[in-house]
Amino acid sequence: MKIVREQREENNSLLKVTVGEEDYGQAVEKELREYRRKANIPGFRPGMVPMGLVKKMYGKGVLAEQAYRTASNSVFEYLQKENIDYLGDVIPSEEQGDFDFENGKEFEFVFEIGEAPEIKLELSDKDKLTYSKIKVDKKMHDDYRANYLRQYGRLVDADEVTSDEALSVTLDNGEMNVADAYVGLISMSEEERKPFIGKKVGFKTEVNVNELYKNPSQRAAVLQVKENELEGIKPEFTLEITKIRKFAEPELNEEFFKTAFPGGEVKDEAGLDKFIDARIESELRRESDYLFTLQLRDYLVQKAGLKMPEAFLKRWLYTINEGKFSMEDIDKDFDQFLKMFTWNYLQKHFIKQDNITVTKDEALAEAKALAAAQFAQYGMPSAPEDMLAGYAEKILADKDQGQKIYEKLYEVKVVEDVKSKIKVTEKAVSADDFAKLAKAL
């Protein structure tokens, strides 16, 4: 066997592997014996098919497979032995010639690799970035508090529509009468609510339910029919308000605090306000962390200035996707791909250089937090601990979800690692200014 490495463009080379019968012969014979043992050919008992017939039927395909496998394995052994770091994967080269597996005994396989560029990245307090922290304003606090208390509040009768009340109405189009239909203004925009503002019980108006509820499932719910029954229903209805109910916040008494905070961590309204602000800051911190990660990513990618084998990476993407995307498709999104690919490569550098690890317990804690968030979406803000632990194990056991969790935690640790090496200045910004920064990225 002979391996020759030929440099092409920068950080891109070919590996030409020549294999002969002495390299793949034993593997071919072993595979053909296995074919003979399993062959089911009329006129021959199992295992008694003449080897000559087996070779005639399967020999060419087995030779091609084993010769390629031998060459491919030798490439990976060569890369490991020569300590060559490569990107993506080894792929067949476009310079590959034809093979004569009918008559030939020696074959040259040509593979292509993208060589990983060397990272020379010195970081110090001369590297400066700003961490944008969103200021909690009164509107944020009041909105969050209202939404939080809604979980413990109740609906009470109201005399007049003022904002986001819940309406009971009668809908009648002459062919169909729907009594006690529910119209929730909270799910509507301010513009959609306008026709109802200031109205009282007994108010009548003409509505088109297709315009009132553009979503078929919502339309079916208000008309109290199944979605497949919507077709053929005349959408113009007379709507009459029969009841107006509004949300009333719970009384902030001892009973409320025991119910909402059974652990006793909040006991009065002042404590509730501190709790609300802490929750908002926690959620906003995630937004700030995400924005900072994007800023740090772009800064490091630019500072590192790595010369990636772009032409190779495009060919690699085309090859591994097996024709799902054209080269034009790959070209269109390649800049964004290259940025993320380079960022992942830089992360691996810091993980290796600074011995960054993610433990199973850390991954389980993250999976448990994910499970808790999912339960909260379905109306279970305080799922039992054993239930969360069980779901966390299932999440981690799923290959894709588990990998995403580990990747996220590694990224968080890499960002914290880099933050400790550079100068980061925290700056308070308004929600509007933060949105502008995020949009720019």
For residue 128, report the phi and psi dihedrals to the nearest 5 degrees: -120, 135
At 414, list the tokens: 């890499």
pLDDT at 379: 60
- 295: Cβ–Cβ under 8 A, 6 or more apart, which residues? 129, 130, 441
Strand-by-strand arrangement of the 86-92 sheet: 2-7, 12-19, 107-115, 86-92
State the amino acid at position 187 in one-letter form: S
Q: Rounded to whole angstroms, how far apart are CA atoms 270 and 276? A: 10
- 312 dihedral zone (left: phi>0; alpha: psi -120 to 50; beta): alpha
For residue 50, report the phi and psi dihedrals to the nearest 5 degrees: -60, 135
pLDDT of 327-378, one tens digit each?
999 999 999 999 999 999 999 999 999 999 999 999 999 999 888 888 776 6
pLDDT at 147: 84
Q: Rounded to whole angstroms, how far apart are CA atoms 167 and 242? A: 8
Assess contact for 222 and 183: CB atoms under 8 A: yes
pLDDT at 280: 92
- 304: Cβ–Cβ under 8 A, 6 or more apart, which residues? 119, 120, 121, 342, 346
- 294 dihedral zone (left: phi>0; alpha: psi -120 to 50; beta): alpha
Separation in Å, CA 256 to CA 144, 155, 247, 269: 17, 16, 16, 11
pTM of the model: 0.73
Candidates 215, 132, 206; CA nearest to 436 is: 132
- Taking the chain (441 residues) in runs of 10, the rounded mean pLDDT of each run is 90 94 93 85 81 87 94 95 93 92 92 94 94 91 88 88 91 93 87 92 94 89 91 93 90 89 89 92 92 96 94 93 89 94 96 96 92 74 80 91 95 97 94 87 79
pLDDT at 247: 84
pLDDT at 262: 86
Give 427's strand partners: 132
Q: Rounded to whole angstroms, how far apart are CA atoms 207 and 50? A: 84
Q: Rounded to whole angstroms, how far apart are CA atoms 304 and 122? A: 9
pLDDT at 128: 96
pLDDT at 53: 87
Residue recorded with tokens 């109306």: 379
Q: Rounded to whole angstroms, how far apart are CA atoms 248 and 240? A: 24
pLDDT at 270: 93
Q: Which residues of 66-79 are buried (b: 16+ CB within 10 A; e: fewer)?
A: bbbebbeebbeebb
To the nearest 10°, report the CA torsion of 416, 421, 427, 432.
Answer: -50
